Structure 1
Amino acid sequence: MKTLENSLICGTLAFGFYLPLLAASLETVTIPEQLKSAVAKVLVSTTSCSVTCGLGFKVEEICQIDPHGKRSHCNFRRSDCLTNWICGLLHFTVPIGKPFKLSCLTSEMIGVGSQAFIYTWRLARGIITTDDLLFKPFKTPSYVIKLSPAKESDAGTYRCDVQLMKTFKLVKRIYFGLRVIPNDLVNLNFQKSLTLEQKLAANEKEGNQQNDTSVIVQWHQQSWQRRALLVFLIGIGSGVAGGVLVVCWLPAGVQRHVELVTNL
């Protein structure tokens, strides 16, 4: 009984404490006249990030909105965005002696300013991997590694980490798998193995219209020859069919006369 009495007393005290607060919340809230005419700047739309990994940018539209919801004085601004800082592995095959370079910055990041980032390169020599335990420091202060020319000893996986200069925040990590092979090991000229359709697509991409024109003319000539042969065969068939019909419809006397003349 004492427990029940204590519960009732606690409940009464709590109700008495919250009752003034409840009554205050039920009162009508008066909005000041200054707020009724206030205008606020609101973000109304934004584009997706310009890149799928690493630091990119997006364009935002900001407008002034009055209490009636009308937009005015809209403007656009460009802001940084980061969807994913891991960019995966890219593969490259380079012949020995050919100049080659690796860059861990995109055009969007270069637009921000290459001096705004810190670059850390590491190398797993001789293998293609993403195991971070196999990488050793590779000293270079730039975001570009230039191989001029590429040597067989340059083969391996290069890892580039990009950090913001102000906050040291990691905004990008990308791996470059590089194979350096002798020139006589593989014939890298794949033009010989292309089909006619692939050659046409390659010529169109490179702007070489001469080969395309000759192939089209040859195709039209073959098509015209096929149509001429079809018309010739239709003419012969029509003549034979017409002769048979004439013979079948001639009177019997005329047919005998024709047979006698034929026998003579």
Structure 2
Amino acid sequence: MKTLENSLILGILACAFYLPLVVSYKKVTIPAELKSVAAKVSVNTTSCSVTCGLGFKVEEMCEITPAGERRNCTLRRSDCLTSWICGLLHFTVPVGKPFEISCLSSDATGIDSQAYIYTWRLAQGLITTNDVLFKPFKNPDSVIKLSPTRESDAGTYRCDVQMTKTFKVIKRIYFGIRVIQNDLVDLDFQKSLTLEQRIAENEEEGNKQNITHVETRQQQSFWQSKLLNEPLIGVGSGVIGGVLVSIALCFLRKIWRSNAAEK
């Protein structure tokens, strides 16, 4: 009985708390002014201009009416970030030749330089991505210019691009630079090939281009030889047959003469 009474009391209390909520509920109506308002949203966008680091994308912004119609469409360029790690780039530079490396891609040169912080580090004389081997390299700009390039400039340069407001790293890229003497090796690959290597390369290209022509010529030669050999085979067979017949006749003649002499 006490359990039943407790259950009834809890039920009454629940109804007491629930009823005011039900009674106080009112239907929400949307004002007529809001029904005619058009919202401006992005209806189309391009992919990011780069696969890593800071890039941009172009969005098509349109006003959408309550009826679903598009109007007053415009194009808007906005920043985008796919991945902040860009990996390692290799360069081979002769001594004395001017050379420069940049954290920013060519399509991002128009951005506000004050919105980002560029931090450079150098692993001198090494081509590596091991961050333990890097030491600070003073250069506040996004570009490092080597003019002229010296042997001591060889190594790996790491650039970190950070947001000025949040210090968030949005790009990290490594530049591996090898510096060589001008008389050590000729960078013109075709010019440095030996005569045998040039012949082999030309033969390889020629084989790829003339493989169909060679197969056609082989087929033509096969049928020509077949057509030429058939008459030769016939003539040869006739000559051999005639010789055999002549030998048989001579043998029979000798036998006939020997028999006649005995009689």
User: What is the TM-score normalised by the length of structure 2?
Assistant: 0.68
Counterpart residue number, 1:149: 148
Q: 1:221 to 1:47 in 2, by over 3 A?
A: closer
Q: 1:221 to 1:49 in 2, by over 3 A?
A: closer
Residue 8 of structure 1: CA displacement?
5.5
RMSD: 4.0
1:196 alignment partner, one of 192, 201, 204? 201
Counterpart residue number, 1:102: 101
Q: 1:8 to 1:121 in 2, by over 3 A?
A: farther
**Structure with bigger gyration radius:** 2
Q: Distance in 2 between matches of 1:61 and 1:239?
A: 79
What percentage of aligned pairs have identical amino acids? 58
> Between Structure 1 and Structure 2, how many residues are aligned?
236
Residue 79 of structure 1: CA displacement?
0.6
Q: 1:196 to 1:130 in 2, by over 3 A?
A: closer
Q: 1:158 to 1:241 in 2, by over 3 A?
A: same
Counterpart residue number, 2:12: 12
Judge which range, 224-233 or 40-49, deviates more.
Answer: 224-233
Q: Secondary structure at the match of 2:127?
A: coil
Q: Structure 2: which amino acid aligns with 1:233?
A: S
Counterpart residue number, 2:131: 132
User: What is the TM-score normalised by the length of structure 1?
Assistant: 0.68
Residue 110 of structure 1: CA displacement?
0.4
Matches of residues 1-264 of structure 1 in structure 2 within 5 Å?
A: 9-10=9-10, 12-23=12-23, 25=25, 28-114=27-113, 116-165=115-164, 168-183=167-182, 188-191=187-190, 192=193, 193=197, 196=201, 229-230=221-222, 232-240=224-232
Q: Secondary structure at the match of 2:17?
A: helix
Return 5+ residue gaps in structure 2 as ranges: 250-263
Q: Distance in 2 between matches of 1:154 and 1:117?
A: 26
Q: Secondary structure at the match of 2:42?
A: strand
What are the superposed Cα offsets for residues 207-241 of structure 1, whole Å, 9 maximum, x if unpaired? xxxxx9xx97x989978876774564244135447
Return 5+ residue gaps in structure 1 as ranges: 201-211, 248-254
